[in-house]
Structure 1
Amino acid sequence: MYLVHWPVRLKAWVCDPIPKEDEFEPLCLDVTWSGMEKCLEMGLCRGIGVEMHPMWRQEKLRDFCRDQNIHVSAYSPLATPAQIALSWGLSKEVSVNVKSFNQERMKENKGAIDLKLEDEEILEIDSMFKEMKILRGEVFVNQSTSPYKTLQDLWDYEI
């Protein structure tokens, strides 16, 4: 899976998770997405998409992606209990990616496939949290070199 996690472009040598202003490169999302499509066509990946989380539902983005046949994936949507969070992600018609090397946890996570939440339960989970972005991306916003001058630019006014 080739995912868009943060829509920014940094210089190749940048390793620090908090980039400095002079470490940004110009960004063209159309070219990036086109390149991702080529990777898919060439068999370099099995899927391409963007991600979501129960506390950052991005309905506007998901609607756009659905209309454009772009896959959305819930990245590590784990909470307590994990199966409910996984099942919630599956109910939104997105794949869910979890990372675990613990066999017991992997078996538990697999149980989410058989767990079908009722519509009322999905609505309750949807309303449990005020929608918020935990990692808002302030480090990718600056006035000189980033393509995003404000957080609203970065999040298409969904923040």
Structure 2
Amino acid sequence: MSSSLIVPNVVLSNNRNLPVIGLGTATILGSAAGDDTTKVAVLEAIKLGYRHFDTASIYGSEEALGEAIAEALKLGLVGSRDELFVTSKLWCSDNHPDLVLPALKKTLQSLKLEYVDLYLIHWPIALKPGNWDMPYDEEAMAPFDLKGVWTKMEECQQLGLTKGIGVSNFSCKKLENLLSFANIPPAVNQIRMNPTWQQKKLKDYCQAKGIFITAYSPLGAKGTVWGTNDVMDNELLKQIANAHGKSFAQVCLRWLYEEGVTIAVKSYNKERMKQNLEIFDWSLTKDDYEKINQVKQHLSLKYGPAKFVEDLWDEEN
């Protein structure tokens, strides 16, 4: 086994260290890769040097991730649970004040962990409790009591069930609303971000407020129902990769790293997992940045899980 790579950390507003690259365990929403596939991939990732693992109740991967962590501890791949950073998320059907605590307790049961390091509100919308087919129609929707939900998220942190709390897919406007009443501000906003969807306004807002961004779909999520080929097919990005003798993915990840955000990558391929960590010993040039700034901006995921929710992005995207 090759020696594992060292991944830098950032320090969140709650003084916890978050590795700048983590392994995402999402496949097509609502269906997980086989449990064994996820478990094997997570174990391999730990061997390579990954210490942040991103999951969610909707992904169906919490149990497999928990099994991999238990196995890694048993094998001595990590010295203790505290060496790992685990993020999970509250799904829309649990986006109700009375369901937050039970949802997190269920997540911890699936993971077989005493706490997660970060618990996020997955989307700024609420569904009526139950199982609904995605994309959701108006019948499935419920009023979203952000203040009530966030109060319970804060309680989860105070109880020690999570070390930090945050959000995902929140616009500047929604963050501003949240910050107006939050006693504990969100440590992280996990958003879709890559060279073809650079989110400059939202990135600047989060950085000004001390909220770290975790970028998901950093390569555009080609081949998924919510993904796009725009990133992988971009000729300017291919030119930069060729000039540096790097992979296409490494250029995209290095750009995100230099933008000051953290990243959740999704690959279960051993060689690609390794390459995704090899971005810290080289830099992009000024010319590279000029090319990346020219990349046409395009968002395929316009409305998220409910197509008709027109204010989801508050016209910021």
The structure with more strand, counted as a fraction of residues: 2
Give the letter for the 1:62 counterpart: K
Unaligned runs of 5+ in 1: 143-147
1:119 aligns with 2:254: no
Q: 1:63 aligns with which of 198, 204, 209?
A: 204
Give the letter for the 1:61 counterpart: L
Residue 29 of structure 1 deviates from its aligned partner by: 3.5
Are 2:132 and 2:140, in contact at CA under 8 Å, matched by a contact in 1?
Answer: no
Closer, same or farther in 2 for the Cα pair 1:75/1:138, shift >3 Å? closer
Are 1:52 and 1:72, in contact at CA under 8 Å, matched by a contact in 2?
Answer: no
Unaligned runs of 5+ in 2: 1-86, 88-118, 167-187, 220-230, 233-247
Larger Rg: 2
1:52 aligns with 2:192: yes
Q: 1:21 aligns with which of 138, 158, 161?
A: 138
Closer, same or farther in 2 for the Cα pair 1:89/1:47, shift >3 Å? farther
For residues 7-156 of structure 1, the aligned pairs below 5 Å read: 7-40=124-157, 42=160, 44=162, 48=166, 49-50=188-189, 51-54=191-194, 55-78=196-219, 79-80=231-232, 81-129=248-296, 131-137=297-303, 140=306, 142=308, 148=309, 150=310, 153-156=311-314
Residue 65 of structure 1 deviates from its aligned partner by: 1.4
Residue 94 of structure 1 deviates from its aligned partner by: 0.6
What's the TM-score once normalised by structure 2's chain length?
0.42
Q: How many pairs are equivalent?
A: 150
Q: Which structure is higher in RCO with an 8 Å CA cutoff and minimum separation 6? A: 1
Cα RMSD for the two superposed structures:
2.6
Indicate the residue corresponding to 2:176 in structure 1: none
Residue 75 of structure 1 deviates from its aligned partner by: 0.6
Measure, in 2, the Cα distance between the counterparts of 1:118 and 1:47: 35
Residue 15 of structure 1 deviates from its aligned partner by: 3.9
3-state secondary structure, aligned to 2:126: coil
Segments of 4+ moved more than 6 angstroms: none
Shifted more, 15-24 versus 85-94: the winner is 15-24
Residue 105 of structure 1 deviates from its aligned partner by: 0.8
Are 1:14 and 1:23, in contact at CA under 8 Å, matched by a contact in 2?
Answer: no
Residue 141 of structure 1 deviates from its aligned partner by: 5.1
Deviation digits for residues 58-92 of structure 1 (CA, Å, limit 9, x no counterpart) = 22222221222111111131255110111111111
3-state secondary structure, aligned to 1:136: coil
Residue 133 of structure 1 deviates from its aligned partner by: 1.2
Are 2:127 and 2:142, in contact at CA under 8 Å, matched by a contact in 1?
Answer: yes
Indicate the residue corresponding to 1:158 in structure 2: 316
Measure, in 1, the Cα distance between the counterparts of 2:290 and 2:120: 27
Closer, same or farther in 2 for the Cα pair 1:34/1:70, shift >3 Å? farther
3-state secondary structure, aligned to 1:128: coil
Are 1:82 and 1:109, in contact at CA under 8 Å, matched by a contact in 2?
Answer: yes
